[in-house]
Amino acid sequence: MIQYIVFTADVQTAQAAKLRTAITDASNAGNDIYVFISSGGGNVFEGLSLASFIKALPVQVTMHNVGQIDSIASVIFASGAVRLSTQNSSFLFHGVSMHYEKKDFIEAQLEEQYRGVKRMRENIAATFAAYTGLSVADVDALMITGSTILTSDEALSKAIIHEIRDAAIPPNSHVIAIGNG
C-alpha cells in the first residue's frame, strides 16, 4: 500500500515534526510513501535531519515536486528513492544565510559565525550530491553563484529528477496534508 502525503509548507520545526510523524506512521505500517512537495525551504537543521531520516527508512519514498523546491527543501526532495516533477515546477539553489538583528560581534565571533554558515552550505552540498549522484563541485556551483533556478527540464538533464510527470493521486487513496497552518 502507498501512503500519500502532501507537504506544502516551509521547513520549520512544527511543519517538519508533522511530516516526520506522518512518514513514521506510514513506515511503521509498512507502507511505501509518496510525497507531493512544494516548499520555500527554511531551517537547515530540520531539513538535513528530515532528509537523513527519510533516506534511512525501510520503505520506498517517492518525492514529487508539485510547485517549487527551494533551498533546504532540495535536500528533503533529493532523499526520495524516486524523484519526479511536474512540468512547470522549479528548483532554487542558493548559499546559506543568517539573520542577525541588533547584534554586535567581536572578530572571533564573526569567524565562528562564518565557519558555521560555511559548514551548513558544505553539508547541504555534500548531502544533495550523495543523494542525487551529482558531484559536490556541481552542487557548489549551483549554490555559490547566488540564486540558481532550474526548470524541470534542466533538473531532468542533471539527473536531479528521474522523470517529468503530472501529479495524480489514485481514487480512494488516504491522503495526509501538511501546510503552514
Give the domains, in start order, of the chain with CATH numbers.
Answer: 2-179 (3.90.226.10)
Q: Answer yes or no: is pLDDT of 99 > 80.
A: no
How far apart are alpha carbons 123 and 14 in whole angstroms? Answer: 22
What Å distances lie between residue 66 and 77, 90, 132, CA to CA? 11, 9, 19
Helix (H) or strand (E) holding 141: helix 136-144
Evaluated on CA atoms 170, 172, 174, 175, the torsion sign reads positive
How far apart are alpha carbons 116 and 162 in whole angstroms? Answer: 33
Interval 64-81 mean pLDDT: 98
97 pLDDT tier (thresholds 50, 70, 90):
confident
How far apart are alpha carbons 68 and 152 in whole angstroms? Answer: 10
Tens digits of residue pLDDT in 108-160: 988 998 898 889 899 999 999 999 999 999 999 999 877 899 999 999 999 99
Residue 136 identity:
V
101 pLDDT tier (thresholds 50, 70, 90):
confident
